[in-house]
């Protein structure tokens, strides 16, 4: 199947002039707009950019070709090369024809939404950029993905599953009667319980799931390549693991349970990320109404 075309390509025109290329020892690119904003990729070898599964820098943007471009490290320089993409590769607003040697601070646009900045500096700068990405994408309390980044990731995973006719499931869960924990032991103790639940959930769903804090005491898990049956099995393991774990609440321990809602897509059922969240949320509330500490599922596609 050929690459999709789009009428919504936005060309960045107000960019600084292309600086003379300078020799570099350490180079990387930072995603400054689009999916994965803040993510850092070290350019220590040839890397391909595209939305295909085999791309080294995979960008789920429909305006990007499956094999869109590549970065080539040659001697002391880094080159970006367009691979015959549909919508083009742009450096500082100018379309690349063939290859272009990059200079520190160059901005690159791929497809309709994705913009990267080229950096040719030191390891300390790269470490700083990675810390900034972690800070931007992680929930400050639990260390899980924050709501914004989780929703972006879900949208990308749903789009990928829909294109390939693959299964994907979403688990949405929250702590039963969590207000009583805060009222009885205080909010600092409640925060410790939240962190404990997040840690147990992360250990239970890895490596199959991507965990995020969706808000308050509510968490969500993306499970790639899993239909409803497999997702329900994972949800039951998660529910049981949390129910049997004593959580630190400052000077005492408490036990909590969770209710879980499951929704899935597959070859016979395609939905948006928002629709998948809504269905999982409905299933979660059925679990609450059904007595809590249980799993409910929204059908099997």
Token pair belonging to 143: 């260390």
The tokens for 280 are 């999982």
CA distances from 4 to 8, 160, 231, 250 (A): 12, 14, 32, 55
Identify whether 203 is preceded by a cis peptide bond (ω within 30 of 0): no
**Residue partners of 214: CB distance under 8 A and separation at least 6:** 147, 150, 172, 220
Residues forming the active site = 217
SS3 24: coil
The Cβ of residue 148 has, within 10 Å, a number of other Cβ atoms equal to: 12
SS3 209: strand
Angstrom CA distances, 186 to 79, 97, 281, stand at: 56, 62, 27
- Residues 6 or more apart whose CB falls under 8 angstroms from that of 34 comprise 59, 61, 113, 114, 115
């Amino acid at each position: 199947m050929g690459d999709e075309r789009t009428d919504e390509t936005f060309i960045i025109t107000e960019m600084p002039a292309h600086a003379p290329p300078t020799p570099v020892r350490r180079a990387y690119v930072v995603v400054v707009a689009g999916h994965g904003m803040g993510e850092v990729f070290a350019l220590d070898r040839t890397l391909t950019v595209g939305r295909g599964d085999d791309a080294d820098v995979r960008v789920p943007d429909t305006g990007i070709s499956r094999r869109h471009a590549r970065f080539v490290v040659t001697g002391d320089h880094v080159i970006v090369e367009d691979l015959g993409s549909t919508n083009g590769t742009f450096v500082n607003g100018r379309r690349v024809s063939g290859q272009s040697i990059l200079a520190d601070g160059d901005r690159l646009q791929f497809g309709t939404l994705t913009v990267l900045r080229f950096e040719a500096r030191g390891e300390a700068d790269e470490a700083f950029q990675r810390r900034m990405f972690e800070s931007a994408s992680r929930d400050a309390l639990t260390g899980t993905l924050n709501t914004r980044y989780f929703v972006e990731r879900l949208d990308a995973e749903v789009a990928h599953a829909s294109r390939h006719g693959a299964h994907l499931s979403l688990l949405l869960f929250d702590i039963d009667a969590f207000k009583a924990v805060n009222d009885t032991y205080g909010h600092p103790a409640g925060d410790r319980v939240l962190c404990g639940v997040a840690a147990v959930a992360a250990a239970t769903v890895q490596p199959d799931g991507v965990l995020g804090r969706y808000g308050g005491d509510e968490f969500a898990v993306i499970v790639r390549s899993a239909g409803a049956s497999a997702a329900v099995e994972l949800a039951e393991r998660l529910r049981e693991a949390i129910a049997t774990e004593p959580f630190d609440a400052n000077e005492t321990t408490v036990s909590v349970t969770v209710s879980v809602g499951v929704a899935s897509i597959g070859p016979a059922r395609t939905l948006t990320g928002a629709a998948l969240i809504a269905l999982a949320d409905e299933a979660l509330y059925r679990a609450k109404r059904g007595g809590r500490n249980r799993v409910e599922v929204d059908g099997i596609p």
